Amino acid sequence: MTSNLGPSIITLITLFISLTPTLIKSDEGIDVFLPISLNLTVLTDPFSISAASHDFGNITDENPGAVLCPSSTTEVARLLRFANGGFSYNGGSTGPSPTFKVAARGQGHSLRGQASAPGGVVVNMACLAKAAKPAAVVISADGTYADVAAGTMWVDVLKAAGERGVSPVSWTDYLYLSIGGTLSNAGIGGQTFRHGPQISNVHELDVITGKGEMMTCSPKLNPELFYGVLGGLGQFGIITRARIALDHAPTRVKWSRILYSDFSSFKRDQERLISMTNDLGVDFLEGQLMMSNGFVDTSFFPLSDQTRVASLVNDHRIIYVLEVAKYYDRTTLPIIDQVIDMLTRTLGFAPGFMFVQDVPYFDFLNRVRNEEDKLRSLGLWEVPHPWLNIFVPGSRIIDFHDGVINGLLLNQTSTTGVTLFYPTNRNKWNNRMSTMTPDEDVFYVIGFLQSAGGSQNWQELENLNDKVIQFCENSGIKIKEYLMHYTRKEDWVKHFGPKWDDFLRKKIMFDPKRLLSPGQDIFN
């Protein structure tokens, strides 16, 4: 769900003339008043509270005490200093006060309330992006990087950079996410095998730590904070600005979906293609599963071929879809068809089942928006999304496929949503960052993107997720969850493994009162 938490003009006027301090709850459940002297743009109207209480997952509902709609980064810093139990203002001190929780929220696309702050304060980062000076996206003179307000959506970075003929190189499939949100996790998609996740394409950050300190960090300046925050699940600070790497922007894309009935061929071809990271390789690679016990979406394919594709799925029960793209522009137009032929001539797909579209670069990157519009029109967007995203070691992907895909998914009465299935290269990830991956050169990104629409109960889908996790546990497949939500400390310790001690040390260093991002349930 993408909700606009911004205040109306009437709300703002009421806010500024009000003389009543805002009431929130401390960690101990004690009433805490935010003093007027803090000069914070705080919203407590029912709409703002409701919008901040739930997210895209539509499974949790946690009301904050207030929503901060900051007009500057100093507002956020003042809030966090006060949240730590004290605040100096114009040389004076308010005196110690009980601590309370604070969470940054971008577009609210978390799945299990990770951006919530029950009883505390949610910081609406979209407000900060709107107030950014001189603009939310500033492209460097040489076009090699963009300084971006963290509440900005990636689609707006794409638009601003495109006007200069440049572009970020690593993307998520859905562009209506905030920069700070994806950088706090990893930011993965079909370009990750070549360029790494979005966190691998950041030069510098501005961060407000849990202590309310405003710090700039990079690989050379405050590196512990820099590497900790990237993939750090919001535990060490709130990102307010990111310097994102840019490169030349192509103008068009040859976008292919290639169908396989044989898993071994699908796996072999995917892994071979991601090993080709030179200019002649594909620029984007993902994979999906089409199963006969689910909805078979044939809208990508020509109308004359849609029945043929559906029959192929019904005949084999499961079809593996290799999705690749090759970018081009005016200079590479004369050779693009030759390059596509070179890349695909030795692939082992089902004969006659390769389909290619030629689309503008922006339309390709923004392709999921069309799916969102369809689902919204059907009332199937704002429904529970019990998604499961995992990284599976490449050495165990056959065991995973046989046990989970063949053994569990295909034996369900029906399946919903999209199942992603594609490999990526670990050498494109920086192990100093907080994000965890399997310890193998190649691992697979698996996404069970299920939606509980209509009469379906989301707990039923959650039970299937649990079976997947249990199968991996019983089989000794050492997966790592992505966008996870654990509720037990031992699960977090297991997840971070050798990084746990360092993660805990950084928490003590940058957020010693454990105020930030309580919805992650790591240190509660």
Provide the 3-class DSSP secondary structure of residue 141: coil
| Nearest CA-CA partner of 511 in 218, 217, 233 | 233
Residue 309 CA to residue 350 CA, distance in Å, equals: 11
| Environment class of 93 (CB within 10 Å of its CB; exposed 0-12, middle 13-18, buried 19+) | exposed
Q: Which of 173, 297, 363, 382 is catalytic?
A: 173
| Bridge partner list, 419 | 448
Residue 88 CA to residue 81 CA, distance in Å, equals: 8
Residue 213 CA to residue 228 CA, distance in Å, equals: 15
Examine the residue annotation and report whether 399 is marked as an active-site residue of this protein.
no
Q: What's the first-to-final CA gap in the chain, in angstroms?
A: 26
User: Mutual orientation of helices 500-510 and 489-496 as an angle, nearest 10°?
Assistant: 110
Residue 409 CA to residue 65 CA, distance in Å, equals: 41
Q: Which of 27, 75, 109, 156 is catalytic?
A: 109
Examine the residue annotation and report whether 173 is marked as an active-site residue of this protein.
yes
Which residue's entry shows tokens 């101990």?
28
Return the exposure string of 272-307: e unless at least 16 CB atoms fall within 10 Å of the residue's CB, then b: ebbeeeeeebbbbbbbbbbbbebebebebbeeeeee
Examine the residue annotation and report whether 31 is marked as an active-site residue of this protein.
no
| Nearest CA-CA partner of 128 in 222, 214, 17 | 214
Element (H, E) at 204: strand 202-209
Strand ordering across the sheet containing 42-43: 42-43, 66-68, 121-124, 102-105
| Nearest CA-CA partner of 251 in 363, 367, 141 | 363
Q: Which of 147, 156, 269, 286 is catalytic?
A: 286
Tally of CA atoms within 13 A in the half-sphere of 463 that contains its CB: 6
Q: Are 202 and 183 in contact, with CB atoms under 8 Å apart? A: yes
Tokens of 237: 């600070």
Write the Ramachandran bin of 291: left for phi over 0, alpha for psi from -120 to 50, otherwise beta.
beta
Tabulate helix, strand, coil % of the chain (nearest 5).
Answer: 35, 25, 40
**6 phi/psi in degrees, rounded to 5:** -60, 145
| Nearest CA-CA partner of 80 in 207, 210, 180 | 210
User: Cα 173 to chain center, whole Å?
Assistant: 9
> So which residues are the catalytic ones?
109, 173, 286
